[in-house]
Amino acid sequence: MEWETVIGLEVHVQLSTASKLFSGSATQFGAAPNTQANIFDLALPGTLPVLNESALAMAVRFGLAIGAHIGKRSVFDRKNYFYPDLPKGYQVSQLDFPTVGKGQLTITLEDGSEKVIGVTRAHMEEDAGKSLHEDFHGMSGIDLNRAGTPLLEIVSEPDLRSAKEAVAYLKKLHSIIRYLDISDAIMAQGSMRCDANVSIRRRGETEFGTRTEIKNINSFRFVEKAINHEVRRQQDVIEDGGRVVQETRLYDADRDETRPMRSKEVANDYRYFPEPDLLPVVIDDAYIEAIRVTLPELPDARKARFISDYKLSEYDAGVLVATREMADYFEQVAQATGDAKLAANWVSQDLQGLLNKHHWDITESPIQADRLADLLKRIQDSTISGKIAKTVFEAMLDDTASVDSIIESKGLKQVTDTGEIEKLVETVIAENPDQVQQFRDGKEQVIGFLVGQAMKLSKGKANPAQVNELLRAKMGS
């Protein structure tokens, strides 16, 4: 039986405002429990919400970035349910009139082709607090620091057809959000969270199958694993003659499986209605345009520019624009050196390799863009060879001295003194009479061997071009 997978993602992103969506409490990650929960966040009677202007601006920023319809009149609603981490007994969200309407983004598939994924909507809402299940004598502890932190919930169309597409979509979303600087979007810290709606159907069918919602997926890797697991589970259910039940399932990363959530057993009736403590949020064209002009160059546009301006390959450009910081880094090096190809190779290979090895983010790199540019300039002016440069690069990790003084102090400077090179060449000619004779007999490729011998003798410091030239001169070709 051939199955088609249908996936839609609901991504919650914590907007990186200083204060909460409706109160003046701080939103710092990792504060001691309940030290960032004021009287409004605790839902003390008589307290009232006032909307944070930055949260609204960030939502609009996102909407513009995905070419979405911006709601000129958005309305907050109350979503009613009881849970200890939800102090008011309702979550303020947006149901019928979200700030961001239909938009889209483009993902690149493994074969290099592109696919447009629809975004249904993105609405603002409050985050909930956290329940801590460590044992307090059979009780749970409630920390409300996170309660009221602004969230943007981004809902995709069910346009994704595999776990890999889902991951590509999520990474693209992450990239755009980071470019816009509207969220830290760190999945491990919960500032970006993903719920996946998954269903399967026989290929060729037009109706969707019954879907399940998988919650608690907190890394890109788990998105793929959780979806794949759920797809297999649904296939097994159907192939065993059963039916998929519409339910919410929790992904357990330790066991790599999903299981039904007990607390959601009874179908919820959220009783949405317009939040009467808030008025409609109305924005005009001037407001939207003022935000539009502040939008940075986004990954797709930047990639296109890298290809046309720097003559980079599709692949290199794609790697370099993945994060705004990486692209900025690359551009700084490319501009300082005037050699985009060289910069691209070093950033996407040597630097990226280093970062991967140490699990560093580019912002954590011990080698800043200006220092890498200094290093590449020394390759360009033949002070060092490309090979020696890799040694210098390694040394720069622990040594904060300038590139030049590292080269100097380690004695890595390329030998360009004609006298010294002459001595090297004479030694090589004397020690390899057979090869010299072969060369003189017209075996051109032997020159490579002889240059290599000279380089070895110089411990790599001799300028290979100069060696080549002198060898030929001395051997009288």
Partner 1 sequence: MIEKTVAELSAALASGEFSSVELTQAYLDHIERHNATLNAYITVCAESALAQARAADAARAAGANNPLLGIPIAHKDIFCTEGVLTTCGSKMLHNFVSPYNATVIEKFNAAGAVMLGKTNMDEFAMGSSNETSYYGPVRNPWDLERVPGGSSGGSAAAVAADLCAMATGTDTGGSIRQPAAFSGITGLKPSYGRVSRWGMIAFASSLDQAGTLSKSAEDSALMLNVMAGLDMKDSTSADKPVDDYAATLNDSLQGLRIGIPRQHFAEGLSPEVEKAVRAALGEYEKLGATLKEIDLPNNHLSVSAYYVVAPAEASANLSRFDGVRYGYRCADPVNLEDMYKRSRSEGFGDEVKRRIMIGTYALSAGFYDAYYRKAQRIRRLIKDDFSRAFQEVDVVIGPTSPHTAFKLGAKTDPVAMYLEDIYTIAVNLAGLPGISIPVGTAAGLPVGMQLVGPDFAEAKLLNIAHQFQCHTDWHRQKPGALGKEA
Partner 2 sequence: MALDKSEVAKIAHLARLHISETEADEVTNRITDILALIDQMQSVDTDGVDPLAHPLDVVQRLRPDVVTETDERERLQTLAPASQDGLYLVPQVIE
Residues that bind partner 2 (CB under 8 A): 17-19, 23-26, 32-39, 42, 44, 50-56, 80, 82-85, 131-133, 136, 138-144, 250, 261-263, 266, 269, 271, 274, 276, 278-282
Size of the site for partner 1 (CB under 8 A): 29
- Tell me which of partner 2, partner 1, none is bound by residue 190, counting a contact when its beta carbon lies within the kind-specific cut-off of 5 to 8 angstroms: none
- Tell me which of partner 2, partner 1, none is bound by residue 62, counting a contact when its beta carbon lies within the kind-specific cut-off of 5 to 8 angstroms: none
Q: Which long-range contacts (CB under 8 A, 24 or more apart) does 171-177 make?
A: 171/220, 171/322, 172/105, 172/106, 172/107, 172/299, 173/11, 173/105, 175/299, 175/321, 175/322, 175/323, 175/324, 176/62, 176/65, 176/66, 176/105, 176/298, 176/299, 177/13, 177/62
How far is Cα 335 from Cα 322, in angstroms, rounded to an integer? 19
- Tell me which of partner 1, partner 2, none is bound by residue 17, counting a contact when its beta carbon lies within the kind-specific cut-off of 5 to 8 angstroms: partner 2
Cβ distance 70 to 99 under 8 Å?
Answer: yes
242-281: contacts with partner 1 (CB under 8 A): 269, 271-273, 276-279
Cβ distance 95 to 272 under 8 Å?
Answer: yes
Q: How far is the CB of 169 from partner 2 (least distance, A)?
A: 26
- Tell me which of partner 1, partner 2, none is bound by residue 188, counting a contact when its beta carbon lies within the kind-specific cut-off of 5 to 8 angstroms: none
- Tell me which of partner 2, partner 1, none is bound by residue 90, counting a contact when its beta carbon lies within the kind-specific cut-off of 5 to 8 angstroms: partner 1
435-464: contacts with partner 1 (CB under 8 A): none
372 burial class (0-12, 13-18, 19+ CB within 10 angstroms)?
buried
> Which is nearer to partner 1, 130 or 378 (by Cβ)?
130
DSSP string, 333-379: HHHHHS-HHHHHHIIIIIIHHHHHHHT--GGG-SS-HHHHHHHHHHH
> Which is nearer to partner 2, 83 or 208 (by Cβ)?
83
Cβ distance 282 to 99 under 8 Å?
Answer: no
- Tell me which of partner 2, partner 1, none is bound by residue 32, counting a contact when its beta carbon lies within the kind-specific cut-off of 5 to 8 angstroms: partner 2
Q: Which two tokens stand for residue 27?
A: 């939103």
DSSP string, 64-103: HHTTPPB-SEE--EEEE---TT-TTSEEEE-SSS-SB-SE
> Which is nearer to partner 1, 87 or 98 (by Cβ)?
87
Residue 82 makes contact with partner 1 by CB under 8 A: yes
- Tell me which of partner 2, partner 1, none is bound by residue 46, counting a contact when its beta carbon lies within the kind-specific cut-off of 5 to 8 angstroms: partner 1
From candidates 6, 107, 142, 298, binder to partner 1 by CB under 8 A? 142
Site string for partner 1, 287-316 (x = CB under 8 A): ------------------------------
> Which is nearer to partner 1, 45 or 476 (by Cβ)?
45
> Which is nearer to partner 2, 141 or 296 (by Cβ)?
141
- Tell me which of partner 1, partner 2, none is bound by residue 354, counting a contact when its beta carbon lies within the kind-specific cut-off of 5 to 8 angstroms: none
- Tell me which of partner 1, partner 2, none is bound by residue 98, counting a contact when its beta carbon lies within the kind-specific cut-off of 5 to 8 angstroms: none
How far is Cα 255 from Cα 233, in angstroms, rounded to an integer? 14
- Tell me which of partner 2, partner 1, none is bound by residue 61, counting a contact when its beta carbon lies within the kind-specific cut-off of 5 to 8 angstroms: none
How far is Cα 432 from Cα 435, in angstroms, rounded to an integer? 6
Per-residue b or e along 14-42, where b marks 16 or more CB atoms closer than 10 Å to that residue's CB? bbbbebbbbbebbbeeeeeebebbbebbb
Residue 50 makes contact with partner 1 by CB under 8 A: yes
Residue 54 makes contact with partner 1 by CB under 8 A: no
DSSP 18: S
> Which is nearer to partner 1, 42 or 475 (by Cβ)?
42
Tell me, what amino acid is at 47? T
How far is CA 213 from its chain centroid?
24
Sign of the CA dihedral with 329 first, then 332, 333, and 335 last: positive
From candidates 1, 30, 32, 46, binder to partner 1 by CB under 8 A? 46
Q: What is the largest CA-CA distance in the chain?
A: 100
Residue 150 makes contact with partner 1 by CB under 8 A: no
From candidates 3, 12, 47, 416, binder to partner 1 by CB under 8 A? 47
> Which is nearer to partner 1, 278 or 355 (by Cβ)?
278
Q: How far is the CB of 24 from partner 1 (least distance, A)?
A: 10
How far is Cα 65 from Cα 172, in angstroms, rounded to an integer? 12
Quick one: which segment of 4-12, 37-45, 190-198, 443-451 binds partner 1 (CB under 8 A)?
37-45
Residue numbers of the site for partner 1 (CB under 8 A)?
Answer: 39, 42-51, 78, 80, 82, 84, 87-90, 142, 144, 269, 271-273, 276-279
